[in-house]
Amino acid sequence: MSNVKLAVIYYSMTGTNYQLAKWAEEGAKEIGAEVKVLKVPELAPQEVIDQNPAWKAHIEATKDVPEVKLEDLEWADAIIFSVPSRFGNMPSQMKQFLDTTGGLWFNGKLVNKVVSAMASAQNPNGGQEATILSLYTSMYHWGAIVAAPGFTDQSAFTAGGNPYGTSVTIDQNGKMIEDVKEAVKHQAKRTVTVANWVKTANQKEPVRS
């Protein structure tokens, strides 16, 4: 898998989705992928962030994480997104970034990218599945290939059994309730594996009749 390039693109207020992104990086690197962990730009005004100590602390702690650029999407063979749920949808920060990809889409630069997604919310039915599916809707327009984890590994059941992508519930102290680390790593490995199949097939000589 050493020829597969994976971009893990996340948005995180207080660190949950950053941690999911780092676990995805760990899993992908275990099977030899080249990985970039990238954050989408923050849109909230600084005065709002300053009123939330956990939010402010996380932004300071991750100040050296590079922001995603459109060229990172071109670079990647596979992309994993990780976001908190916002009323069953992706946060505006991620949506704003996706809305800038029109030029790449128009020129066919996003076709056959292998994609997968993860999400978090503050209760078990807080919109995690809908959030992941909302991300996948954009991916279908790209012509991307969705590599959902399904129930391809026992870790999915330990993590709560979301077949669309690993999701997690956050308690009032900001801690993850479910044990999702192995599910995230499996999802990353599966995404990289599928990307390797696609990339290998694209590199073969065309069949001649």
E strand or H helix that includes residue 155: helix 155-158
Q: What is the largest CA-CA distance in the chain?
A: 66
Nearest CA-CA partner of 94 in 200, 201, 11, 191:
11
Residue pLDDT, tens place only, 110-139: 999 999 999 999 888 788 999 999 999 999
Q: Which residue do the tokens 């990647």 mark?
A: 76
pLDDT over 80 at 209, yes or no: no
Neighbours of 157 (CB within 10 A): 10
Which amino acid, residue 14?
T
CATH code, residues 5-203 = 3.40.50.360
Residues 6 or more apart from 32 whose CB is under 8 A from it? 1, 2, 4
Q: Which two tokens stand for residue 115?
A: 């994609």
Residues 6 or more apart from 191 whose CB is under 8 A from it? 6, 28, 78, 80, 114, 115, 116, 147
* pLDDT level of residue 188 (50, 70, 90 thresholds): very high
d(CA 3, CA 37): 17
Q: What is the pLDDT of residue 185?
A: 98
E strand or H helix that includes residue 23: helix 16-30
Do the beta carbons of residue 168 and residue 160 sit within 8 Å? yes
pTM reported for the whole predicted model = 0.93
d(CA 108, CA 6): 19
Q: What is the pLDDT of residue 160?
A: 87
What is the chain's mean pLDDT, rounded?
93
pLDDT over 80 at 206, yes or no: no
Average pLDDT estimate for 70-91: 96
Q: Which two tokens stand for residue 160?
A: 């709560």
